Structure 1
Amino acid sequence: MARLIILLVALTASPIGGARAQEVETVRVATFNAYLLSPIFKCANPNFADCLVQIQGQTEKQAEHLADTILKDTDRFDIIAINEAWDEDAKQILIDKLKPVYPNYVRKIDAALLKVRPQAIVDAITSLDPAAAVAIYGEPVEKIDGEDSGLMLFAKSDFKFMPLPDDSFKWGKHDGETLDAATDEVGFTLYDHCGGVDCLSGKGAAIVRLLHLPSQSNYTVVFTHMQADYFEKSPAELHADARDAQFDQIEKLIETTLSPLTPAQRKRERVLVMGDMNVPLFHPPTGEWARRFATPGTYWTSQHYDSWAATNSADPGISNYIDGERYDYILAAPKPYLSGGIEGPICVQHVTIPVDFVDLESDHNLLTADLNLGNNFCSPSIAYPVNLTTRKGPDGKPQAEELIDFRNGQDVTQIRYPGSMQWFHVVRQDAGSYSIGPDNPDVNIDIYQPSNMTTPISSYYGSTRTVQDGEHIFTVHTYALPKEFFIRVTGKDRRWQGNYALLVRRHTCATKEEACPLQPGEPPQFASLTEAGSLLGSQDEAWFRFDVVGQADSGADQTVTLTADGLPDPSRYKATLEEFDNPHGGEPPIAVSGTSRIVSDAMGDGTHGYLVIHQAAAGSQAVRVRASMQTTVRNLELKALICEDETNPEFGSDDIFTQLSIDSRTIRFPPGGEVEFDCDDSADQKDWARFGSTNLTFVDHAGMKVFEQDDTSPNDPSHANEFPDLPPGASSLDGVRNPLIWNFEGGRYRLNYELTMRRNEPVAAAP
């Protein structure tokens, strides 16, 4: 069958290859709480003089780090909304570094707070340290005008600022209103309600309208930073009343600004509301998130929706691992894309938390959304349901598969627009192994589990193989997958559009060639030993491949447990190890008899083989058998040690060293000397590379002590913290990231790390 592939050389206002302008609309947006604090938010303490010396250059380095991370892949974001950018030098660094790629920017939005809330500012300063505030601002308390909004926006050159339809909220035209931006078409509403130290800053919501030149579509972008929740200092949902009032102001800002548009124009308007909204998610059903985003009939459910909840319903989407909460949002309007053509709403194709931004200095994670014109199966919420059917393959053996291409005369597998995604959803009774791949080399395949829609599941083998099915030749990877998963299909090049077919084939485990791979931390792999004379004939063996990866840094082998289970009559079944190979020597372990066949032994890195379940003869009905693999090995990635406050209120600094107990060893980090931290209420982050090795492997336990060099007596408040075990049933992607905290006398330290069962990467070369 001839396949038409349309290539777009560039995304321009007049795309070539026959695509109309409105058919080129791939837009990627992001929001980030950057933690670029000004001195008042870092040094409002009795030791402010020492603190001011300590933080010199610190925030600027954070801004450099953020800008460099953004610029690593300039194709990843088209619009970036940043909040909590209060430091003036940090702002300028972002402008200088990002402006060549993002020439449309909003640098600063400020207000004369003394005119708006004079008493609230005095109260906020008094709650901090008035002497510090006077020293930092160089003004008496009654003349301190607080901080600006902390909001910034960047957009690429294929956007153009447009006039606001109604300029009632246009900022900068009245006394006390300051705007520094590449345009004067910026609206802003300063929040009337605030609580605590939030009153010291000009928090609010800004609005701009952008024309996307390639598609000629209009984007109304609202970016904000709302009243803080102060999770650690109070019960959850503190100041919810202030956020309620702030949401009302955002609603008024949007509706007033867009009021001149006709209903038809509003239907096609792409409206995004982005930022750190400080609405905690993980609370009872009657909590703030539910009231705001899950109560029918409200403005924020009838006119907008939480794109994360609509797209990744089973993924918690934690955007702040310190509090274990999701505070950051991208709200879209008017409603989720469900079906129809390009006249309908934009499709939010995917919402993620990129892993490389997790390691920045902020306690928040960047949130990003991929938008495009509506298309078949363009988001996980409307994924194509894969219906595997069992049939005889070319070799006469049963195969459970679906070849997805044309359905009812419609070509359903198609990257219809540049940057389009298509999603496929597999739900089975149990876990299994699969061969999955396209017939087009210009297409990428990524597999996700519902609880983690950011990090794709790695294929089992790193190499590919080809499978022919009729006229199609597929390039497939092998995957060991849970009972439910998503397949995302994209073009390898963002500009590409064209057709493809997709093969999803479940392995039978019937032979060594069709062996189902076992991986630690994954559910058992199932196979069926079929009965004689059935439609599919007899399958008397089930083959499961295992590969042992990793070894403790101490040199100890991991203990690997292989289990063959589901055998109703032990006398008719047996389990054996075939082609067992331990490169470190040793005889194959012996299976323990019983209704389950269990093999448990120390195995070194590179050990591999097959666990095979045999039945003596096919019975009268099919028997579902299963096999699984568990291991004691753990991978610990140390990311950063962060001083949130020095160990004692003092001038000077802390000289810190640590002791890591891992298995039977105790290791000093750094090996000699100490690492200096200056952090009088001003967080000082040191990447773990300053201490030593960042990746460690253990099989027994791991714990850490933190010491301040001149205070290491037996009564020292430094104490051991144990790294937690992985929760029961944790998959290979479900790492533990909750930081370790040390609360010292007058001080606080935090360790960021990630603990996983195994690394999410291919484990062996193809057999």
Structure 2
Amino acid sequence: MAIFAVTLLAEPIGASGQEVETVRVATFNAYLLSPIFKCANPNFADCLIQIHGQTEKQAKHLAETILKDTDRFDIIAINEAWDEDAKQILIDRLTPVYPNFVRKIDAALLKVRPQAIVDAITSLDPAAAIAIYGEPIEKIDGEDSGLMFFAKKEFKFLPLPDGSFKWGKNDGETLDAATDEVGFTLYDHCGGVDCLSGKGAAIVRLLHQPSQSNYTVVFTHAQADYFDKSPPELHADARDAQFDQVQKLIETTLSPLTAAQRKRERVLVMGDLNVPVFHQPMGEWARRFASPGKYWTSRHYDSWAATNRADPGISNYIDGERYDYILAAPQPYLSGGIEGPICVQHVTIPVDFVNLESDHNLLTAELNLGNNFCHPGIAYQVDLKPKKGPDGKPQAEEVIDFRNGQDVTQIRFPGSMQWFHVVRQDAGSYSIGADNPGVNIDIYQPSNMTTPISSYYGDTRTVHDGEQTFTVHTYALPKEFFIRVTGKDRDWRGNYALLVRRHTCATKEEACPLQPGEPPQFASLTEAGSLLGSQDEAWFRFDVVGQADSGADQTVTLTADGLPDPNGYKATLEEFDNPHGGEPPIAISGSSRIVSDAMGDGTHGYLVIHQAAAGSQPVRVRASMQTTVRNLEIKALICEDETNPEFGSDDIFTQLSIDSRTIRFPASGEVEFDCDDSADQKDWATRFGSPTLTFVDHAGLKVFEQDTIRDDPSHVRDFPDLPAGASSIDGVRTPLIWNFEGGRYRLNYELTMRRNEPVAAAP
């Protein structure tokens, strides 16, 4: 990961209005399709009956999810909102909180590209199009842009500096918005079915009243590729032309600004840009966003790539792609405080939007004034220096507070973040906390910057370090991770100090927790005369969590490795407590000591490695934990294509085999799926059964359509076992797939050896 240099700031915490600029933005491909995109097939009449009210229900679900926490988003850009009733639902429900809106942008496509519309309709189903629109093909004007925009009352629409692209003033231009200061460029180039809609890029300018900063926001939906076609339909050339149009839209609209004004302008480009990252042919992303000297590299940047370099950021799980973007300008924040560029502090994919009906996930970014370590790309590099602790035992920690006379740990502005980066040779256990109760601390692994890693214990403990007192959580963490510090609420600002202490496992109080399936925890038994303290024991805590739904205990294996001499080194179980049995024996196998037994939920204790006498060299030992338990979370069953013939709908039920049991979901009857021309997704917990299941031996699923043959082996799919060294499988990226009778179904799930949650109270 590239680490940017950062100039430390020594300014005191301020309170002026200019220093209050916490802005949270989001973009979402809402999948609110109009009937032409759902029912363009020979059975359109039946399809139209079946989808009645469906898109409106999706819009209500989206609005409810947004409004669950109105503090999460200040600006929301939506694309693929083509259904008129769905638009109105969003307007009715969101505008009390987001009064600044753009409801609809439309163009007279028949005047612009009549033949392209005919070709797009022909590629779908002409008879269906005529029935849906109630017009002959030559009079069908297609769909609008599908773009919508919402901003809170803290924003106020501003006049566009240059009105060349101002929309709605000419014949054939439709604008429905809370302002007439909306610019738009209709894309000249399109391919395939995209030509049926008025895709383009819209631009608005807003005043953020708390900070008096101006925001220029471009929201768009670019040309798609169709990898599911044979051969795939690729349209990078159309996107090239569209990006050129967006560049012209931005530069023309902002051309009256002085250089100083442009430097202070907050410019964002948000939407489904459809630039693939993981599909062949590779290279479009790099050509566009990683080519120095090019406009979309030198004047804008992909905020996800700049802040989350190791996280793939999949925003469309059907294609396994990162299509959705928030571009910021001009470059990632490095230094400069208020006068520097806006800091994109954190970009995430909120998990509660994953279960919406869209095939995309919502993407959100938190913006704020620049500060020390305000995004992961300029995170503070934690240096855990070994030393002798007050108890004479080795210790490795860093207290981060003042550096070179400067207080570098400050939440300087409301909504600010600070990031800290830890890289070690091996996984380890840590106590991490602050001396100020006003801050929150979250830990992230680089490959998942959305979901924090849970602490091992459910409560905190107090650690004294010199004259400072820290309230810490205990974590079992990978060899690389990020620490994010924020205020407990969005208005908080203040000073704090941060303690990062790596456990040496030397004592029971700072034992290293073992997590099933995770890399081993390491400790060093010291040599004679060590200047860093004396350590002749290594303590490893274990807690057994969970039990199979069948009632069977899990088999747990605890392993101590690196013990060179059975006479001088041994392993013991201390404070072992198994509600279902006694203490198991410890087997010796070379330099390993192994405990393996059936253990019930709540079993706990310590695996302790002892050194009889210190030698001339330190001895590096390790411990690990494995278990047979598997936690299966079923997320959604998705119909991508109905079974043949495509008439009516599929009536689906499933049979889940888990260990020795077979369960029918739903318990009786079937669940109706209709996916003639668009995927139909059913949330498992809502439509089928419990989303979380636990097993120790085997799990598999059969999917049946009411009319199909019950013993057809094509209906059976087994959930995979966890690969060696893995503690989870992301079954959204690698779902179970059923291809039978011309239909295609997909199951999203997650399989884990342990849940991401605390396992016990602190001892």
Output the TM-score relative to the length of structure 1.
0.95
The answer to whether the aligner puts 1:379 opposite 2:379 as a matched pair is: no
Task: Give the equivalent residue in structure 2 for 1:742.
Answer: 738
Q: Structure 2: which amino acid aligns with 1:459?
A: S
The SS at the match of 2:750 is strand
For residue 275 of structure 1, report the CA deviation from its aligned partner: 0.6
Match of 1:542 among 538, 547, 559: 538
The answer to whether the aligner puts 1:708 opposite 2:705 as a matched pair is: yes
The SS at the match of 2:228 is helix
Deviation digits for residues 162-216 of structure 1, max 9, x if unmatched?
1111111111111111011111111111111111110101111111111100000
The SS at the match of 2:339 is coil
For residue 403 of structure 1, report the CA deviation from its aligned partner: 0.9
For residue 717 of structure 1, report the CA deviation from its aligned partner: 8.0
Does the 8 A contact of 2:393 with 2:534 survive in 1? no
Q: 1 CA distance for matches of 2:585 and 2:39?
A: 62
Deviation digits for residues 13-57 of structure 1, max 9, x if unmatched?
xxxx96122100000001111110000000000000000000011
Task: Give the equivalent residue in structure 1 for 2:76.
Answer: 80
Seen in structure 2, the aligned counterparts of structure 1 residues 538 and 235 have a Cα distance that, compared at 3 Å, is farther
Give matches, 1:337-376, under 5 Å.
337-376=333-372
Match of 2:245 among 242, 249, 255: 249
RMSD: 1.7
Task: Give the equivalent residue in structure 2 for 1:9.
Answer: none
Give matches, 1:597-616, under 5 Å.
597-616=593-612
Seen in structure 2, the aligned counterparts of structure 1 residues 756 and 47 have a Cα distance that, compared at 3 Å, is same
Give matches, 1:229-240, under 5 Å.
229-234=225-230, 238-240=234-236
Give matches, 1:262-277, under 5 Å.
262-277=258-273
Seen in structure 2, the aligned counterparts of structure 1 residues 717 and 400 have a Cα distance that, compared at 3 Å, is closer
Q: 1 CA distance for matches of 2:726 and 2:204?
A: 43
The SS at the match of 1:60 is helix
Seen in structure 2, the aligned counterparts of structure 1 residues 369 and 382 have a Cα distance that, compared at 3 Å, is same
Does the 8 A contact of 1:657 with 1:707 survive in 2? yes
Give matches, 1:329-478, under 5 Å.
329-478=325-474
Task: Give the equivalent residue in structure 2 for 1:59.
Answer: 55
Task: Give the equivalent residue in structure 2 for 1:156.
Answer: 152
Q: 2 CA distance for matches of 1:733 and 1:744?
A: 25
Q: 2 CA distance for matches of 1:731 and 1:678?
A: 35
The answer to whether the aligner puts 1:694 opposite 2:697 as a matched pair is: no
The answer to whether the aligner puts 1:34 opposite 2:30 as a matched pair is: yes
Q: 1 CA distance for matches of 2:281 and 2:35?
A: 39
Q: 1 CA distance for matches of 2:475 and 2:536?
A: 24
Does the 8 A contact of 1:736 with 1:756 survive in 2? no
Task: Give the equivalent residue in structure 2 for 1:121.
Answer: 117
Does the 8 A contact of 1:228 with 1:239 survive in 2? yes
The answer to whether the aligner puts 1:292 opposite 2:288 as a matched pair is: yes
Q: Structure 2: which amino acid aligns with 1:697?
A: T
Task: Give the equivalent residue in structure 1 for 2:134.
Answer: 138
Q: 2 CA distance for matches of 1:756 and 1:295?
A: 39
For residue 598 of structure 1, report the CA deviation from its aligned partner: 2.2
Q: 2 CA distance for matches of 1:547 and 1:323?
A: 39
Seen in structure 2, the aligned counterparts of structure 1 residues 751 and 393 have a Cα distance that, compared at 3 Å, is same
Match of 1:620 among 616, 620, 633: 616
Seen in structure 2, the aligned counterparts of structure 1 residues 86 and 654 have a Cα distance that, compared at 3 Å, is same
Task: Give the equivalent residue in structure 1 for 2:10.
Answer: none
Match of 1:312 among 291, 308, 311: 308
Task: Give the equivalent residue in structure 2 for 1:661.
Answer: 657
Q: Structure 1: which amino acid aligns with 2:406?
A: Q
Match of 1:638 among 610, 634, 640: 634
The SS at the match of 2:587 is coil
Q: Structure 2: which amino acid aligns with 1:318?
A: I
The answer to whether the aligner puts 1:167 opposite 2:163 as a matched pair is: yes
Q: Structure 2: which amino acid aligns with 1:130?
A: P
The SS at the match of 2:437 is coil
The SS at the match of 2:328 is strand
The answer to whether the aligner puts 1:259 opposite 2:244 as a matched pair is: no
- Is 584-593 or 518-527 further displaced after alignment? 584-593
Match of 2:322 among 295, 303, 326: 326
Does the 8 A contact of 1:550 with 1:604 survive in 2? yes
Does the 8 A contact of 2:731 with 2:748 survive in 1? no
Seen in structure 2, the aligned counterparts of structure 1 residues 450 and 594 have a Cα distance that, compared at 3 Å, is same
Does the 8 A contact of 1:657 with 1:709 survive in 2? yes
For residue 330 of structure 1, report the CA deviation from its aligned partner: 0.5
Q: 2 CA distance for matches of 1:520 and 1:734?
A: 17
The answer to whether the aligner puts 1:502 opposite 2:498 as a matched pair is: yes
For residue 642 of structure 1, report the CA deviation from its aligned partner: 2.5
For residue 666 of structure 1, report the CA deviation from its aligned partner: 1.8
Task: Give the equivalent residue in structure 2 for 1:3.
Answer: none
Q: 2 CA distance for matches of 1:349 and 1:529?
A: 41
| Long gaps (5+) in structure 1 | 1-16
Does the 8 A contact of 1:643 with 1:750 survive in 2? yes
For residue 75 of structure 1, report the CA deviation from its aligned partner: 0.4
Q: 2 CA distance for matches of 1:310 and 1:502?
A: 25
The SS at the match of 2:352 is helix
Does the 8 A contact of 1:635 with 1:695 survive in 2? yes
Q: Structure 2: which amino acid aligns with 1:691?
A: F
The SS at the match of 2:576 is strand
Does the 8 A contact of 1:732 with 1:760 survive in 2? no
Q: 1 CA distance for matches of 2:21 and 2:725?
A: 41
Q: 2 CA distance for matches of 1:158 and 1:736?
A: 37
Output the TM-score relative to the length of structure 2.
0.96
Task: Give the equivalent residue in structure 2 for 1:195.
Answer: 191
Does the 8 A contact of 1:531 with 1:537 survive in 2? no
For residue 600 of structure 1, report the CA deviation from its aligned partner: 2.2
Task: Give the equivalent residue in structure 2 for 1:762.
Answer: 758
Does the 8 A contact of 2:543 with 2:760 survive in 1? yes
Q: Structure 2: which amino acid aligns with 1:416?
A: R
Give matches, 1:457-606, under 5 Å.
457-606=453-602
For residue 712 of structure 1, report the CA deviation from its aligned partner: 2.6
Deviation digits for residues 370-429 of structure 1, max 9, x if unmatched?
000000000000011111122233323222111111111100010000000001111112
Seen in structure 2, the aligned counterparts of structure 1 residues 151 and 717 have a Cα distance that, compared at 3 Å, is farther
Q: Structure 2: which amino acid aligns with 1:319?
A: S
Deviation digits for residues 656-681 of structure 1, max 9, x if unmatched?
11111222322111122222233333
Seen in structure 2, the aligned counterparts of structure 1 residues 415 and 637 have a Cα distance that, compared at 3 Å, is same
For residue 736 of structure 1, report the CA deviation from its aligned partner: 5.7
Q: 2 CA distance for matches of 1:713 and 1:728?
A: 34
Seen in structure 2, the aligned counterparts of structure 1 residues 511 and 285 have a Cα distance that, compared at 3 Å, is farther
Task: Give the equivalent residue in structure 2 for 1:179.
Answer: 175
Seen in structure 2, the aligned counterparts of structure 1 residues 277 and 237 have a Cα distance that, compared at 3 Å, is farther
Does the 8 A contact of 1:308 with 1:330 survive in 2? yes
For residue 746 of structure 1, report the CA deviation from its aligned partner: 3.4
- Is 571-580 or 64-73 further displaced after alignment? 571-580
For residue 595 of structure 1, report the CA deviation from its aligned partner: 1.4
Seen in structure 2, the aligned counterparts of structure 1 residues 150 and 375 have a Cα distance that, compared at 3 Å, is same
Task: Give the equivalent residue in structure 2 for 1:13.
Answer: none
Give matches, 1:2-13, under 5 Å.
none
Match of 1:671 among 667, 673, 676: 667
- Is 568-577 or 241-250 further displaced after alignment? 568-577
For residue 698 of structure 1, report the CA deviation from its aligned partner: 1.5
Q: 2 CA distance for matches of 1:232 and 1:729?
A: 33
Task: Give the equivalent residue in structure 2 for 1:5.
Answer: none
Q: 1 CA distance for matches of 2:384 and 2:249?
A: 50
For residue 341 of structure 1, report the CA deviation from its aligned partner: 1.7
Deviation digits for residues 71-98 of structure 1, max 9, x if unmatched?
1110000000111111111111111110
- Is 415-424 or 319-328 further displaced after alignment? 319-328
Q: 2 CA distance for matches of 1:566 and 1:590?
A: 15
Seen in structure 2, the aligned counterparts of structure 1 residues 545 and 710 have a Cα distance that, compared at 3 Å, is same
| Long gaps (5+) in structure 2 | 1-12
